[in-house]
Amino acid sequence: MGTGQSATARANANIAFIKYWGNRDDRLRLPANSSLSMNLDGLHTVTTVTWDAALSEDSLTLNGQVETGAKLERVRRHLDAIRHRLGLDAHASVVSTNNFPTGAGIASSASSFAALTVAAVAAAGAQLSERELTTLARLGSGSAARSVPSGFVVWHAADRHEDSYAESIAGPDHWDLVDVIAVVSYQHKEVGSTAGHTSAHTSELQATRVEHAPQRLAECKAALLERNFDAFAEIVERDSNLMHAVMMTSRPPLFYWHPVSLDIMTQVRRWRADGLPVCYTLDAGPNVHCICTAAAADEVIARLKAMSGVDEVRAARPGGPAVVLS
């Protein structure tokens, strides 16, 4: 291939309704259980990859800043996997921007590694199936597999690399849900997801959580396809609570909630009991993702903004797939 082949891709963040927590193989990021998520429209990463035989090493510029430490190393390892798959030996320059602030409680690894994978493959001029793009993205960050396909997505757990892929189960127009994110902290989490996954098995609860995950996923998928909000809300909250029960009982214990996170969860359940279609889910951080119908979104936003301890409220609708921009 010639020098300086470049491509730009954009991928949305996603929020999991059935969570990924713990791997059966940490190196290959083969998850302990299948998960289900919704892409978040408008919360995205745009990444340009340039393969250039003249470069002596890979480089990463993130939100305008040249990175040299652990972030570059993780990207470099992912580029190694892509080089291996495509039979390349050139180095790459990677320039990436998130349109949401890092540390605003919106996981950036999913959109980042999805955009990186799609841009790197396109820049090499290779044509891979969406399914294979999801497996490649998974090697960089598990949840990135779910940011490649469109809308509502299931990522399948499996024992082999090629079998653990993600696929869309419904497009973004299937159900006009909104993720209203209550930002309660901008602090960077002390224990990131990657470290958390490796300690999930130290909780006695993880085996049970994993054992019943297929049943929860089936229930969640059915509620989603039927647009049955009450059934959906119950399973989404239960799955989030189960993951946090595992986190809190791992060794060392991981407490991602803050007191205000618990306040919001309590209020959300009350609001739903009073007829407002909203439920909560939390990832590896204290910010609360309040999932509601589009009709309820203004009310949910107003109520969250009125709560003390809520620094900021952001809203996102179901998003499309990762796309090549140029």
The two three-digit tokens of residue 118, written as one number:
């799609």
CB of 301 to ligand DP6, least distance (A): 23
CB of 29 to ligand DP6, least distance (A): 5
CB of 71 to ligand DP6, least distance (A): 12
Distance CA 281, CA 21 (A): 14
Q: 184 or 296: whose CB is closer to ligand DP6?
A: 184
CB of 251 to ligand DP6, least distance (A): 18
Residues found near ligand DP6 in the complex (CB under 6 A)? 16, 19-21, 29, 35, 107, 109-110, 141-143, 193-194, 197, 283-284
Q: 51 or 152: whose CB is closer to ligand DP6?
A: 152
CB of 104 to ligand DP6, least distance (A): 14
Contacts with 87 (C-beta within 8 Å, 6 or more apart), sequence order: none
Q: 232 or 271: whose CB is closer to ligand DP6?
A: 232
Asked whether 264 and 301 are in contact (CB, 8 A), the reply is: no
CB of 280 to ligand DP6, least distance (A): 14
CB of 142 to ligand DP6, least distance (A): 3
Q: 29 or 83: whose CB is closer to ligand DP6?
A: 29
Q: 23 or 59: whose CB is closer to ligand DP6?
A: 23
Asked whether 311 and 185 are in contact (CB, 8 A), the reply is: yes
Q: 142 or 320: whose CB is closer to ligand DP6?
A: 142
Q: 8 or 33: whose CB is closer to ligand DP6?
A: 33
Q: 97 or 194: whose CB is closer to ligand DP6?
A: 194
CB of 193 to ligand DP6, least distance (A): 3
Query: In this structure, which long-range contacts are made by residues 308-312, counting pairs with CB atoms below 8 Å and at least 24 apart in sequence?
Result: 308/260, 309/184, 309/258, 309/259, 309/260, 309/263, 310/182, 310/183, 310/184, 310/260, 310/264, 311/183, 311/184, 311/185, 311/186, 312/104, 312/183
In angstroms, the Cα distances linking 144 to 44, 109, 122, 249 are: 12, 7, 17, 26
What backbone phi and psi angles, to 5 degrees, belong to 29?
A: 50, 50
Asked whether 291 and 283 are in contact (CB, 8 A), the reply is: no
Distance CA 241, CA 235 (A): 10
